[in-house]
Structure 1
Amino acid sequence: MKKSRLMIFAILVLAGILITQLNQIPNLDKQLGQAKATLKQAKTSQEQSQTIASSPQSQQDHVSDSTKRVTSFVQTFSNQPTSSYYDTLKGIATEKVINELIQTFAPSVTFSDKAHYEVPMVAIRNAWGSDLEYLVVAKSDAQSVAYTITYDTDEKQITDMSRLTLKGAFDNEK
């Protein structure tokens, strides 16, 4: 009798442990999925780093070409009327950026026929990955304007930009 009770007790304990383990399978599957996603992201990041580190001249050429495109973009929209933005900036910038320029930036900046804007400063804020971030200053005799510009090297287009306030050496607005 004692042996049968002990046997039943042992079976119940083992059944309880088995049920507990079976209930944890979905959580373990979820953790496995998260670990696989993290591993995939780490491998992608490592591949990008290895590509950049293994071919610095290629990365430098890539950044140099992007910098020229961003400089050209700022000179183009700074020295033309807003009515021609759709035609001249198509393919250089996304439609979102062109609309922002027309609706937000252009009215707040004086782009007259007499003012000619130069781009004395183009600085890279972030050169890692497929999106390069630039800090650009456009300067005329009357005012200076600074922008942060995001350039997507895969799409070869300006994907985002915002205007900054200037303080100090470039601040010649009266």
Structure 2
Amino acid sequence: MKNSRLIIFASLVLACILITQLNQIPNLNKQLVQAKADLKQTKLSHKKSETILSSPQSQQDHVSDSTKIVTAFVKNFSNQPTSSYSDILKGLASQKVINELTQTFAPSVTFSEKAHYDVPIVAIKKAWGSDLNYLVVAKNDAQSVAYKITYDTEEKQVTDMSRLTLKGAFDNEK
């Protein structure tokens, strides 16, 4: 009798342990899937880092080409009427940026047909990775305008921009 009670008790304990372990399987599967995704992202990031470190000249050329595109982008929207932005900026900037320029930035800056904007400063803030951050100043005789621009090297277009206030040497607005 004592042995049968002991066997029943041990069987119940083992059954509880088995049920608990079986309930953990879906949770463990989710953790496994997340860990695999994290590993894949880490390997991809590591591969990009190895590529950049193993070929700094390639990255420098990449940054140089991106800087030329950003400069052309700023010259295009600074020296063209707002109505033509959707045509002239297509391929240089995302639709979000084109809409922002048309509705927000352009009306706050005087872009007249007589005024020609030069782009004397295109400074890069972050040169490593797929998103390059630039500080760009466009100026003419009457005013200077500064922009913070994010260029995505994978999409090969401007994906974000914001207008900055200028103080000091470039603050020559009349």
TM-score (norm 2): 0.93
Q: State the alpha-carbon separation in 1 of the partners of residues 144 and 123 from structure 2.
A: 16
Question: 1:115 offset after TM fit, Å?
Answer: 2.1
**2:64 equivalent in structure 1:** 64
Question: Which blocks of at least 5 consecutive residues in structure 1 are unaligned?
Answer: none
Aligned partner of 1:35 in structure 2 is 35
* Amino acid corresponding to residue 148 of structure 1 in structure 2: K
TM-aligned CA deviation for residue 103 of structure 1: 1.2
Per-residue deviation, residues 57-102 of structure 1 (Å, max 9, x unmatched): 0010010000011011111211122222233222222232222211
Q: Report Cα offsets for 1:93-128 as digits up to 9, x if no partner.
A: 223222221111111001123322111211112223
List runs of 5+ in structure 2 lacking aligned partners: none
The separation in 2 between residues aligned to 1:116 and 1:31, in whole angstroms, is 58
Match of 2:28, as an amino acid? L
Q: Deviations over 1:142-173 (max 9, x none)?
A: 11111111222222222221111122222222
What is aligned with 1:121?
121
- Deviation of 1:13 after TM superposition, in Å, equals 1.1
Residue 164 (structure 1) aligned with residue 164 (structure 2): yes
Counterpart-to-counterpart distance in 1, 2:28 and 2:83: 59
| Deviation of 1:129 (Å) | 2.4
Superposed, 1:79-158 pairs within 5 Å as 79-158=79-158
The alignment of Structure 1 onto Structure 2 pairs a total of residues equal to: 174
Q: Structure 2 CA distance, aligned partners of 1:15 and 1:77?
A: 72
- Percent identity between matched residues is 80
| Distance in 2 between residues matched to 1:11 and 1:95, nearest whole Å | 66
Deviates more, 1:64-73 or 1:144-153: 144-153
**14-23 or 78-87, larger mean C-alpha shift:** 78-87
Partner of 2:10: 10
What secondary structure, in the 3-state scheme, does the structure 2 residue paired with 1:115 have?
coil
Distance of 1:37 and 1:86 partners within structure 2? 38
What is the DSSP-based 3-state SS (H/G/I as helix, E as strand, rest coil) of the residue aligned with 1:162? strand
| SS, match of residue 15 in structure 1 | helix
1:20 is matched with 20
TM-score (normalizing by structure 1): 0.93
Q: Which deviates more, 48-57 or 154-163?
A: 154-163
The two structures, once aligned, show a CA RMSD in angstroms of 1.4
Residue 54 of structure 1: how far off its partner (Å): 0.6
